[in-house]
Every structure is written in C-alpha cells, then in structure tokens.
C-alpha cells in the first residue's frame, strides 16, 4: 500500500453527482490531493503539472462501492442451503456455522479468505457483522485493518431464541462481552471501527436492548441490524413485542433507531408499513437494500424506488451469505432486475430503477454513511476502483456510459485491476 499526497489516475471516468446524474468523461484525470478528490479534468491543470499519474489506459475509473450489509462468518457457506426461508435458514445453516467461530483457529482461517476476497473486490467501504464471539471478532478486525479498506465491524448480540451453541447466556453476559470487546478495539485501528450489532429483535431480549442503548450512548456508536425482512419474521416480532406498533418501533422504544446521535443501518426493509417508513425518514435511518439475499431466501422485493422518492438514505448490501456474491456491481444489476419485478407484479405506479439510480445507491447513496464518499465530486474521499472490460470484447463503438452499464452486468473479479481508499493504493 502506497500513499502519496498528490497524484492522478487517468482513464475513462464515471461517477454520480446525485441520484439522477451519472457523469462520464473519456480519457480524463481524477486528481487526489491529501486523500481527497481534487476534481476531474480533461487535462491536468497548471497546479497539478508534474504530479505522478497512473495511466489506466482505456479502463474505466469509478468511485469505490459501499457494501452496507454483509456477514463475514457466512462467507464460508455462500451459495449453499439456498432452498430455505429466513428463519429455517438461520436455524439449520447459519447458526451452526457461526457457532464454529468460538474456535479462533477456524475463525482466522475463514476470515483470512473473506478479507482477501473483499480486498480484491470493488468494495472500498463496508458494514460487517461478525459473530457473538469477542476473540473471533477481534481477529476479523485485525485482518480487515490490513486490507486498507474502511469498515465498520460488529460483534453480534444475541441472548434469546438461538441454539445453545450460539447464544449469550444472559443480557448481562452479552453486555459485558460487548464492553470487553469495545475496550479492546476502540482506537486500536485506523481503518476498522466498531458498530453496535443487535442481530435482530427476535435474538435480543428487552433487557439486553436496554443495556445496548446505554452502551450506544456511552461509546457513541453507530448501529446495524435487520428490519422487516420476511413475513414470518415480521409476525414473530409482533408476538414478541405486542406493545410496539410495528417492527421498527421495537428498536425505537430502546432509542436504537437512528436520530442525530445514533447513525443506524437497517438491512432489507422489504415489508415496512407506512408508519415505519415515516419513522425511518424522520430518524435518518439508512436502508441497506439486499436484492440478491431477498431473492435467494424468498424474502420478497423491497420498494427501493419509493425509498429514493421519499428521500430516505438508501444503499446496497450483498448480505453474504443470504446473498451469494460479494460483488457490488452484481448488487447494482440485481437491484435493477428486482425493481422490474416489483413494478410488474407489485406496484405498477413505480417504474423500475434506472441505471443511474442503481449506480448511485451502490456508490454515493450507501457511501454517505461513511461521510463524503462514493463520488468524485471535489472534497470527497478519494476512493477509486479501476475496471478493465477487455475480457468482454465488442464489435461496435460504445460510449463510456454504455461500457459501464454493460460491465455492471458482465463483470467478475478479474475486472477489478486497481483500488484506492482515501488516496491509499490498495493494489
């Protein structure tokens, strides 16, 4: 990894400036100054003459992608056990695998594979679930730190409705382990930060949620969890929390649902009633839209177009291993595909996502959770990805915009040939 105070990348540059606008510039320079983007230029301005230039040739250069939701311990079984719905899948596939992370040797082996693949992907920022194990979560953070990617990692909290092998024995133990974990990792890493991670309402007792709210306030932590993913899950939450008016209200009761001092990501949001959507909007909750997972687990189709129209913060998540692919370009194309089914089968008043909108949520929309990231507008963190599309030859001339759309559907890991995070070269 190399750092340089000023340098430029040269290639075919494409980036969002808002949800409807994708700027593309042929053979242009993106300049990095002290880790931030200093602008995109057709030729290097006078003040940047002489800075080092990495010439990416005819490749595409795009901002880094933000994966707002994925589970590192589940990377080991991606693409397996895909014939189940959420709750059965958790009990029969997910919880048994996550139990293995009590073994630090297993955790190191599994997390090394995960960290290496994430490093090579188009993702530059991510919000990641670990397991309930403190030591394994430390190992995950240590390995991710070395990748240079900027991530939030959560030790998972779960003190009810799990198997004996994957459940904290009491709310006290869950809270004490969380504090032990936070005290050991806070300030230890430059790139990896902790995020509070109650698994979802069915896994967390009221007593635990109260303690987590205190911890959130004391350590000023962001929060990540799951919301309104599956019909069976939603009705179970209603039974578990009869006093709450809707799923999100069960988080809100404990002050763990957004607001100025509690940045929050909720994954899925497939079955949010109107009041829940209203509350997410008021509280600035981020939606992590996970189209591939929602398809694999037959969860449903989230109304992303509605979220965008409502001005709700929206990003994309791979939700490994509900989703089987770590690729955020794939998440972008999946989001377009499922939005077409939503339009055709569920709500004919809302058109499918445009390519502009889908690319925006994969980069700038989710990127906002990390500050000014996900665009090459001046002042944004210099997170950049170089994409080579020569594996897919074409006979006809194509514009840069056409090549990006096409590669979003066709790409695989070979296409990612360079990556930068806040100006630091990852490869």
90 binds, among ligand GUN, Fe ion, none (CB under 5 to 8 A by kind): ligand GUN
Q: What share of the chain is helix, strand, coil (3-state, %, to 5)?
A: 40, 25, 35
- Residues from 208 through 227 that contact ligand GUN (CB under 6 A): 226
Q: Which of residues 276 and 381 has its CB atom nearest to Fe ion in the complex?
A: 276
Among 315, 322, 352, 362, binds ligand GUN (CB under 6 A): 322
Q: Is residue 90 near ligand GUN by the rule CB under 6 A?
A: yes
Number of residues that bind ligand GUN (CB under 6 A): 11
Q: Which of residues 12 and 161 has its CB atom nearest to Fe ion in the complex?
A: 161
Q: Is residue 388 near Fe ion by the rule CB under 5 A?
A: no
Q: Which of residues 80 and 398 has its CB atom nearest to Fe ion in the complex?
A: 80
Collapsing DSSP to helix, strand or coil, 77 comes out as: helix
Q: How far is the CB of 99 from Fe ion (least distance, A)?
A: 17
From residue 408, give the alpha-carbon distance in Å to each of 189, 234, 294: 33, 33, 20
Provide the 8-state DSSP code for 353.
Answer: P
Q: How far is the CB of 365 from ligand GUN (least distance, A)?
A: 20
Q: Which of residues 86 and 280 has its CB atom nearest to ligand GUN in the complex?
A: 86
- Residues from 41 through 80 that contact Fe ion (CB under 5 A): none
Rounded to a whole number, what is the distance in angstroms from the first to the last CA of the chain? Answer: 7
Q: What phi and psi values does residue 221 have, to the nearest 5 degrees?
A: -95, 150
Q: How far is the CB of 419 from ligand GUN (least distance, A)?
A: 27
The whole-angstrom separation of Cα 196 and Cα 73 is 17
What size, in residues, is the chain? 427
Q: Is residue 97 near Fe ion by the rule CB under 5 A?
A: no
From residue 18, give the alpha-carbon distance in Å to each of 210, 287, 356, 362: 38, 17, 9, 12
Q: What phi and psi values does residue 154 have, to the nearest 5 degrees?
A: -120, 130
Q: What phi and psi values does residue 21 have, to the nearest 5 degrees?
A: -125, 120
Strand order across the beta sheet in which 223-227 lies = 192-194, 150-154, 123-129, 65-71, 314-316, 286-289, 264-268, 223-227
Q: Is residue 229 near ligand GUN by the rule CB under 6 A?
A: yes
The whole-angstrom separation of Cα 198 and Cα 369 is 18
The whole-angstrom separation of Cα 379 and Cα 228 is 36
DSSP per-residue letters across 268-318 = E--S--HHHHHHHHHHTPEEEE-HHHHHHTT-----HHHHHHTT--EEE--
Q: Is residue 319 near ligand GUN by the rule CB under 6 A?
A: yes
Give the strand pairing for 384-387 and 53-63. antiparallel
Q: How far is the CB of 25 from ligand GUN (least distance, A)?
A: 38
Whether the CB-CB separation of 330 and 292 falls below 8 Å is answered with yes
229 binds, among ligand GUN, Fe ion, none (CB under 5 to 8 A by kind): ligand GUN
Among 7, 114, 200, 420, binds ligand GUN (CB under 6 A): 200
Q: Is residue 71 near ligand GUN by the rule CB under 6 A?
A: yes
Binding-site string for ligand GUN from residue 398 to residue 427, where x marks contact by CB under 6 A and - marks none: ------------------------------
Give the pair of three-digit tokens for residue 155.
Answer: 């030790």
Q: How far is the CB of 299 from ligand GUN (least distance, A)?
A: 8
Among 16, 59, 76, 94, binds ligand GUN (CB under 6 A): 94
Q: How far is the CB of 427 from ligand GUN (least distance, A)?
A: 30
- Residues from 311 through 340 that contact Fe ion (CB under 5 A): 319
Closest residue to ligand GUN in the complex (CB) = 322
| Piece in contact with ligand GUN (CB under 6 A), picked from 33-41, 86-94, 166-174, 371-379 | 86-94
The whole-angstrom separation of Cα 95 and Cα 41 is 50
Q: Which of residues 318 and 424 has its CB atom nearest to ligand GUN in the complex?
A: 318
Q: Which of residues 255 and 319 has its CB atom nearest to Fe ion in the complex?
A: 319
The whole-angstrom separation of Cα 91 and Cα 104 is 22
Whether the CB-CB separation of 413 and 329 falls below 8 Å is answered with no
- Residues from 218 through 277 that contact Fe ion (CB under 5 A): 267
Binding-site string for ligand GUN from residue 140 to residue 179, where x marks contact by CB under 6 A and - marks none: ----------------------------------------
Interface residues toward Fe ion, by CB under 5 A: 267, 319
Interface residues toward ligand GUN, by CB under 6 A: 71, 86, 90, 94, 199-200, 226, 229, 293, 319, 322
């Amino acid at each position: 990894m190399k750092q340089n105070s000023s340098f430029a990348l040269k290639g075919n540059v494409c980036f969002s400036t808002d949800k409807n606008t994708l700027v593309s510039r042929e053979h242009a320079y993106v300049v990095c100054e002290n880790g931030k983007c200093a602008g995109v230029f057709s030729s290097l301005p006078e003040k940047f003459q002489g800075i080092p230039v990495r010439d990416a040739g005819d490749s595409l250069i795009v901002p880094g992608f933000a994966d707002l939701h994925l589970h590192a311990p589940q990377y080991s079984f991606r693409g397996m056990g895909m014939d189940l719905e959420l709750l059965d899948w958790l009990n029969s596939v997910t919880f048994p695998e996550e139990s293995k992370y009590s073994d630090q040797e297993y955790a190191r082996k599994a997390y090394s594979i995960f960290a290496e693949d994430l490093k090579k992907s188009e993702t530059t920022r991510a919000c990641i679930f670990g397991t309930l194990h403190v030591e394994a979560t430390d190992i995950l953070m240590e390995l991710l730190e070395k990748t240079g990617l900027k991530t939030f990692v959560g030790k998972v909290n779960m003190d009810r409705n799990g198997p004996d092998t994957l459940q904290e024995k009491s709310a006290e133990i869950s809270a004490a382990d969380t504090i032990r974990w936070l005290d050991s990792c806070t300030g230890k890493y430059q790139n990896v930060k902790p995020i509070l991670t109650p698994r979802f309402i069915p896994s967390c007792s009221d007593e635990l949620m109260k303690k987590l709210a205190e911890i959130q306030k004391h350590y000023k932590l962001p929060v990540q969890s799951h919301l309104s993913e599956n019909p069976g899950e939603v009705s179970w939450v209603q039974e578990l929390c009869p006093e709450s008016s809707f799923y999100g209200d069960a988080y809100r009761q404990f002050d763990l649902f957004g607001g100025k001092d509690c940045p929050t990501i909720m994954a899925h949001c497939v079955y949010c009633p109107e009041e829940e959507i209203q509350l997410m909007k008021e509280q600035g909750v981020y939606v992590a839209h996970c189209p591939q997972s929602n398809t694999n687990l037959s969860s449903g189709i989230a109304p992303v177009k509605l979220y965008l129209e409502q001005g709700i913060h929206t990003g994309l998540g791979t939700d490994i291993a509900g989703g089987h692919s770590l690729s955020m370009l794939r998440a972008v194309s999946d989001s377009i595909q499922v939005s077409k089914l939503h339009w055709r089968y569920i709500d004919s008043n809302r058109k499918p996502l445009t390519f502009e909108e889908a690319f925006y949520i994969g980069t700038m929309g989710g990127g906002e959770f990390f500050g000014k990231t996900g665009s090459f507008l001046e002042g944004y963190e210099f997170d950049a990805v170089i994409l080579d599309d020569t594996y897919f030859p074409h006979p006809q001339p194509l514009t840069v915009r056409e090549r990006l759309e096409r590669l979003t559907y066709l790409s695989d890991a070979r296409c990612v040939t360079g990556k930068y995070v806040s100006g630091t070269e990852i490869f």
